[in-house]
Structure formats: structure tokens, C-alpha cells
Chain A
Amino acid sequence: MATPTRKAAIVGGNRIPFARSNTAYAQASNQDMLTATLDGLVARFGLQGESVGEVVAGAVLKHARDFNLTRESVLGSQLSPTTPAYDIQQACGTGLEAAILVANKIALGQIEAGIAGGVDTTSDAPLAVGDDLRRTLISLNNAKTVADRLKALARIRPGQLVPEIPRNAEPRTGLAMGDHAAITAKEWQIGREEQDELAVLSHQNMAAAYDRGFFDDLVTPYLGLTRDNNLRPDSSVEKLATLKPVFGTGDPDATMTAANSTPLTDGASAVLLASDEWAEAKGLPVLAHLVDAQTAAVDYVHGGEGLLMAPVYAVPVMLARNGLTLQDFDFYEIHEAFASTVLATMKAWEDPAYCKGKLGLDAPLGSIDRSKLNVNGSSLAAGHPFAATGGRIVAQLAKQLHEAGPGKRGLISICAAGGQGVVAILES
């Protein structure tokens, strides 16, 4: 047994409203958004000119020039320039993984406080020159003589001048993430209607949370936006039923539409974590503690497992380590990459054969009370700026647990590209 450590406290969070791609934040860079988000957090918790132990954040779609994105954002923020920072990237798990890393350093006593965050833009996305052109330009740069330069230039073909636009596709399978999710949806027989219902509920829950002021101290307006502009409070199953499927369309019974899948989104989030002592000394609240976390990965290429099923594997490992069952939670935050992903995840935990065969469990984890799921809305409503989703969920769940009173427990489950999953337990 490892030496017992202290649990990191979640003090609070801040994010900018999320914006659908090429809308309100079309002109903003990752650094602009992350800096604004850090400054909002600094303002909320009175950290102007102060240093914290570490700022950890990342972006999934990142320009080469942004190699030190988080540190550069810190240097442009109201935090002290003596605040260390580093970048991480674990696809859609980036934000939660950042929070886990900060929490672990706090737990080990290596730092007293830290900020975890994430940002993504699909509007100001990096373009790459094709590999052939890139090699030609490198040899052009290395050429010593005019003749060598001309030789290098002569290798350029018009077709090479078309830039490579980043696609939301798996490099090893060539399939879009949505097409992967469609395979899983079919395998688990996830129906169109239940997906649309989950999407509508997400919009309704988030709209209600905004209306009751829940997000007042979690969101700071940015570039004229005060709420996520993907949010459709008047969304209905009837309206959603009229949409055509966009993923897995080779199948006549395709179920996944633009409404029950997350749109490309721009945004940023940040969470302030600390030791209890640090928070108390500053007179800051402790909303919840990060109790434990787990990652898992699946062989979605050759192993026959679904791309987004890794959290299904991560959760039982974490539950066993903490002596908990799936039903021992007051709230569940299952990231809505796609409505079908959430539904397949829950169905897998209910399936005895799958739990025994794939997860090695004697009994299935069982079902969860749907009234405790994504109670303030999730990614289908807010949108999903990849690396920013984790921070949104951690801050949102911590606040929900705090409101519910002491001793409440919440589960976070986030699926990520590359067949990975990041999960965590928070407790108020």
C-alpha cells in the first residue's frame, strides 16, 4: 500500500462560453482564449500578480508555433510571470488529465495550488503543407548553391500546394470519430430515438442550469458571447427526428445526426486546484476533492473494441480500488461526444456477458439512475472544444456536489481519440 496522501481540493473553475466553429471566436487563437480564461479565473479568485505551483493545459489542434502554449498564455496573463507551466495532449481527455496531474502534485505535496485547463479552436486551426512539399522546402532551405535551389524548386508540383486540413479522423483507421461511434452504436443497438432524447435532455438541463444562475460563477463572457451558442433550449425530439444521419451513412439504418453528435467548437476552460490549507489561507472555498482517477486504452484497430469504449474499462478498475459500486454516486458526468457513446457506455456496464468477457468482472456493474446523469447538461448542449471539455466538467461537477452538500460523490467519464478513456471520482 502506498503512503497515504492528501486529496487535492477543487476551488472553482472558469471558462468562456463555447462557440460553434467559425462563429463568435473565428478571430481568436488558442492563446487568446486560454489567456482570457486564465485571467477570468485569476479575477474570480483574486490571484492577480500571484504565482501558483503549476499551470497545466493543452490543445488538441495546435499550431507548431504554439509548442509552449500554456506558458505563453501564462506570460500574457495576470498571473505572476514566475508561474511555471507545461502543455499536455491526450485528445479529448486533455482537460481531465491536466486536472489529475495537478491534483497528483498537490497530493504528493510537491505544489500547494495549480491550474488545469484546456483550449481548442477549429476555426483558427493549423494547416500543414503536404509531406512532399514540406520535404522540398526543407531541401530548398538547406541548398547551398543557386543550382541546388533551382533543383529543389523544380520538384514542386501544383498539387502539392493544397494544404492538409486537420480532420477529426483516426490516423490508423482513416475513419472519422463519428463513423467509429456509429459502428459502436450499431453493435450495441442504440436507437435513433433514445439518442435524440438524450440530446434534447442535455440542452434542456443546460438551459435550466443557465436560467437558475448555476453558471454565473463558472463562465465569463467573451467576445460578446454570454452563453454557449450551440445551446438550443427549445430543442425537441420531434425537431431532431427530421435530421438526416451524418455518420455511418453507409448503413440504411444510420442513427447519428448533427444534433445527437457534438459539433466542432471553439472554447477554453480552467480549474483551480489546491491543498485544503492553501484554500483556507486564501479564504477560498473547497467545492470538492479529487479522490481518484484512472485511464485505460482499448485496441480499437485490431482488437474489435469500439474507439470510444475505453472509459468502460477504466471505471471498474477505479471502483474496485476505492471499494465502490457504480451505484455509489450522486451524480454522473459522462462526456457526450455522441449521444450513442453515452448510451453504449451505460449498456456495456449493464451487460453480464460483456462485463465478464471483456472487463473480467463476475457481475455486471449494473445500471445508473438516469436522473443523476449530466444534470446540468453536457457536450451535446455546450459543444465540445476538445481539450476544454475536461475542465468544464470538473468545475461543473464540483459545484454541483458542493451545492448538494458534504459527502456527495460524482463520477466523470471521458472518452478520447486513439481509443483512450480518462475517468475520475470527485467528492464534496
Chain B
Amino acid sequence: MATTTLDAAPNLGALYAKATVTAWGRGGALPDDRVARTGVEVDRAHLAEYARVCRLPFGDVLPATYPHMLAFPLQMVLMSDRAFPLALPGLVHVRNRIEQLAPVPVAARLDLEVWAERFATHRSGATVDLCASVSTGGAEVWRSRSTYLARGASAPAGAEAADVDVHVGALDRAVATWRVPDDAGRRYAKVSGDVNPIHLSGLTAKAFGFKRAIAHGMWVKARALGAVANRLPEAFAYDVQFKKPLFLPSTVTLSTAQVDGGWDLAVRNAKSGSDHLLGTIRPQ
């Protein structure tokens, strides 16, 4: 296992370009390399912009979805590397689980480490988990697991079965309606650096097989968190499954239910009722 420690956040646009031109001819096993950064300080102006775009409260504690902003670029370093067995274009984020072990102060200096694991078989291809761990002062405060699906790909022989389902109870009462504008993907791309073309415009999305641009799953997840952000335990797991793509623009609904000291959540299309996101928040 090799750990590469970066001294700055990588440029995501360049990584996308690299991943795209090196997409063909990938395969093999998952490398066990890790990418890290140490002593990372949160830029409050960036946090404020993130909070505005995701409608999250802005203060002295990081929203539970924010550390993903810091970890995702490091995960992109792994995924864009030639040694990564799956091609980045076409990877679909199908599940994301965040564990906040303790509230993370904005002023904390953060140590990040990311890696890939669980190359698993899925009925329509293979999945891989991109993991992240965030520590401050030697204590882990946050971790996440992003599961990506590569349609048509195959996991190595004997791989475990993918685990992509999040189960929620009956969520039959919509508590909020969101009108998601057609620039939602561009706005989140600007703040997150996640400039995957499927989020940016109808034209670029069509090139990758989507009829229109789609919202970032992590934006939907963050915005749903905003609806309950002041009513959460200090330590919790926020687990979501991304279902049908949220085409832009759309009107969607949020349904919530208080369950076991946490929440069940669903974001659904206001017209068709189809699920975009199903999630649970549970105290830990």
C-alpha cells in the first residue's frame, strides 16, 4: 500500500480530462493506494458559498456533507489514475454514507485520507466504494463511503455482492417542495469543482446518454440535510441511495419522518412521484 500526500487540493478539471482520455483499456484489480492531505484549513468564504448553494446553515460547525468537498478531489486522484480499473466517464454515484462521529469545528485543522475498496458485483455491472476518513488532532471525526456503479463492468472473480440499497419506512407526506432550476448543476459544479459534464448542460449530458442535465446527488443530499440540520444528534450516520436521476429543471418534494432518534427522508419527483433519493439519518 502506498499513500500519496498532496500539499494542495488537486485541480478537478484536469483530473476529469485525464480520466476521459485514459478511459479506454482499463481493468484489473483495485489498487490499494491511498491519497492524503494533512493540516487542511476550511476556507470560510468557500463554506459560505457551499452553504448558500445547498441552503445549509452557515456557522462555526461544518455541515455533515461539507467534508466531502475536501475528500472528493482526493478520490478523483485515485479514480483518474490509469491503475484504477473502472473508466470514470459513465460511473454513477448510487449510494453515499456519511458518518459524523463528532461535530467538526470550522476552525479545526483536518487530516484527510481516501482510498478505494469493495470491488463488488452488481446485477448491471460492478460497484466500487470510494472511502474517506477525516481526523483532527489524531481523532477521527468524520468518514464517508461513496458507492459508484459502472454499468457493464465486471468485478474480479469471487467478488462480494454490491450493497446499494437504503431502506426507509413509509414516507407518504411531502413536507416541502423544491423548484430546482436548470442551473442547479452549474452552481454546484462551481462550488464543488465537480464539473462532470452530465451536470453542466443538456448538450454535454446528451453526450453521455442523459436526455437532460442532472443534479449532483451530493447536492440533493446536502439540501435534504439542510431541512433537518438543527434537529440532529451530535454523532450520526447519514446514508442515502441515489435512485432515478433528477433532471434539470424539476420540481421535487421532500418527505421526512422522525425515526429512532433520527430521520427517514425521500426526495421525489413532484409529478411522477418517482424516487430521486432515499435516506436515513441515525444517531451513532
Residues of A at under 8 Å CB distance from B?
27-29, 32, 35-36, 39, 75-78, 221-224
Q: Does B230 contact A (CB under 8 A)?
A: yes
Q: Does B48 contact A (CB under 8 A)?
A: yes
Would you call B230 and A223 a contact (CB within 8 A)? no
Would you call A27 and B230 a contact (CB within 8 A)? no
Would you call A35 and B57 a contact (CB within 8 A)? yes
Name the one of A29, A77, A221, A224 contacting B58, with C-beta atoms under 8 angstroms: A29
Q: Specify the chain B residue showing the minimal Cβ separation from A28.
A: B58
Residues of A within 8 A of B107 (CB): 224
Residues of B at under 8 Å CB distance from A?
44-45, 48-49, 57-60, 106-107, 229-230
Would you call B60 and A76 a contact (CB within 8 A)? no
Instruction: With both chains docked as a complex, state the minimum distance between the C-beta of A83 and any C-beta of chain B, in angstroms.
Output: 12
Residues of A within 8 A of B59 (CB): 32, 35-36, 222-223
A28-B58, A32-B59, A222-B59 are known contacts. Are A78 and B230 too (CB-CB below 8 A)?
yes
Residues of B within 8 A of A27 (CB): 44-45, 48-49, 58
A76-B229, A77-B230 are known contacts. Are A222 and B45 too (CB-CB below 8 A)?
no
- How many residue pairs link A and B with beta carbons under 8 A? The number is 34
- Distance between Cα atoms of A168 and B45 in the complex (Å): 27
Instruction: With both chains docked as a complex, state the minimum distance between the C-beta of A146 and any C-beta of chain B, in angstroms.
Output: 22
Residues of B within 8 A of A75 (CB): 230
- Distance between Cα atoms of A78 and B234 in the complex (Å): 12
Residues of A within 8 A of B230 (CB): 35, 39, 75-78
New contact pairs (16) apart from A76-B229, A223-B44, CB-CB < 8 Å: A27-B45, A27-B48, A27-B49, A28-B48, A28-B58, A32-B58, A32-B59, A36-B59, A39-B230, A76-B57, A76-B230, A77-B230, A78-B230, A222-B59, A223-B106, A224-B106
4 pairs of A and B residues whose beta carbons are closest in the complex = A27-B48, A32-B58, A36-B59, A76-B230
In terms of DSSP, what is the predominant structure of the interface of chain B? loop
Instruction: With both chains docked as a complex, state the minimum distance between the C-beta of B110 and any C-beta of chain A, in angstroms.
Output: 16
Would you call A36 and B60 a contact (CB within 8 A)? yes
Instruction: With both chains docked as a complex, state the minimum distance between the C-beta of A228 and any C-beta of chain B, in angstroms.
Output: 17
| A/B interface sample: 12 pairs, CB < 8 A | A27-B44, A27-B49, A27-B58, A28-B48, A35-B57, A35-B59, A75-B230, A222-B60, A223-B60, A223-B106, A224-B60, A224-B107
Instruction: With both chains docked as a complex, state the minimum distance between the C-beta of B219 and any C-beta of chain A, in angstroms.
Output: 19
Instruction: With both chains docked as a complex, state the minimum distance between the C-beta of B109 and any C-beta of chain A, in angstroms.
Output: 13
Instruction: With both chains docked as a complex, state the minimum distance between the C-beta of A279 and any C-beta of chain B, in angstroms.
Output: 25
- Distance between Cα atoms of A39 and B229 in the complex (Å): 13
Residues of B within 8 A of A28 (CB): 48, 58
Q: Specify the chain A residue showing the minimal Cβ separation from B230.
A: A76
Instruction: With both chains docked as a complex, state the minimum distance between the C-beta of B47 and any C-beta of chain A, in angstroms.
Output: 8
Instruction: With both chains docked as a complex, state the minimum distance between the C-beta of B24 and any C-beta of chain A, in angstroms.
Output: 43
Residues of B within 8 A of A36 (CB): 59-60
- Distance between Cα atoms of A277 and B60 in the complex (Å): 34
Instruction: With both chains docked as a complex, state the minimum distance between the C-beta of A13 and any C-beta of chain B, in angstroms.
Output: 19
Residues of A within 8 A of B229 (CB): 76
Instruction: With both chains docked as a complex, state the minimum distance between the C-beta of B58 and any C-beta of chain A, in angstroms.
Output: 5
- Distance between Cα atoms of A82 and B280 in the complex (Å): 24
Instruction: With both chains docked as a complex, state the minimum distance between the C-beta of B1 and any C-beta of chain A, in angstroms.
Output: 37
Instruction: With both chains docked as a complex, state the minimum distance between the C-beta of B6 and any C-beta of chain A, in angstroms.
Output: 25
Residues of B within 8 A of A76 (CB): 57, 229-230
Q: Specify the chain B residue showing the minimal Cβ separation from A224.
A: B107
Would you call B60 and A221 a contact (CB within 8 A)? yes
A76-B229, A77-B230, A78-B230 are known contacts. Are A224 and B44 too (CB-CB below 8 A)?
yes
Instruction: With both chains docked as a complex, state the minimum distance between the C-beta of A309 and any C-beta of chain B, in angstroms.
Output: 39
Instruction: With both chains docked as a complex, state the minimum distance between the C-beta of A36 and any C-beta of chain B, in angstroms.
Output: 5
- Distance between Cα atoms of A222 and B44 in the complex (Å): 12
Residues of B within 8 A of A77 (CB): 230
Instruction: With both chains docked as a complex, state the minimum distance between the C-beta of B9 and any C-beta of chain A, in angstroms.
Output: 20
Instruction: With both chains docked as a complex, state the minimum distance between the C-beta of B128 and any C-beta of chain A, in angstroms.
Output: 36
Residues of B within 8 A of A32 (CB): 57-59
- Distance between Cα atoms of A222 and B105 in the complex (Å): 11
Instruction: With both chains docked as a complex, state the minimum distance between the C-beta of B60 and any C-beta of chain A, in angstroms.
Output: 6
Residues of A within 8 A of B49 (CB): 27
Residues of A within 8 A of B58 (CB): 27-29, 32
